[in-house]
């Protein structure tokens, strides 16, 4: 990790660690980023409804 990445990570951590809501948003943001970087049109994914990876999908359906 380069110096610029380290500085950016420190800034993000400080910004998102201000409240429970900002930490939840950061967790959501990183999860969506993981989905984007992991899945494509050719990917099949089987998720447990109790798993962390499925958590945000499940929560969004209850709204």
Summarize the confidence of residues 30-52 as an average pLDDT: 83
Per-residue model confidence as pLDDT tens digits over 1-28: 578 888 888 887 777 777 888 778 888 8
Cα(61)–Cα(63) distance, integer angstroms: 6
pLDDT at 1: 57
Give the separation between CA 28 and CA 56, rounded to whole angstroms.
Answer: 7
The DSSP 8-state label assigned to residue 50 in this structure reads: T
Q: Where are the domains of the chain?
A: 24-63
| Predicted pLDDT of residue 27 | 80
Return the structure tokens found at 5: 């990445």
Of 63 and 38, more confident? 38
Q: What integer best gives the mean pLDDT of the chain?
A: 79
CA angle 51, 52, 55 (to 5 degrees): 90
Count CB-CB contacts under 10 A for residue 57: 12
pTM of the complete model: 0.51
């Amino acid at each position: 990790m380069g110096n610029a990445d380290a500085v950016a990570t420190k800034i993000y951590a400080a910004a998102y660690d201000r409240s429970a809501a900002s930490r939840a948003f950061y967790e959501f943001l990183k999860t969506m980023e993981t989905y984007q970087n992991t899945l494509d049109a050719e990917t099949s994914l089987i998720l447990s409804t109790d798993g962390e990876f499925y958590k945000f999908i499940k929560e969004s359906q209850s709204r």
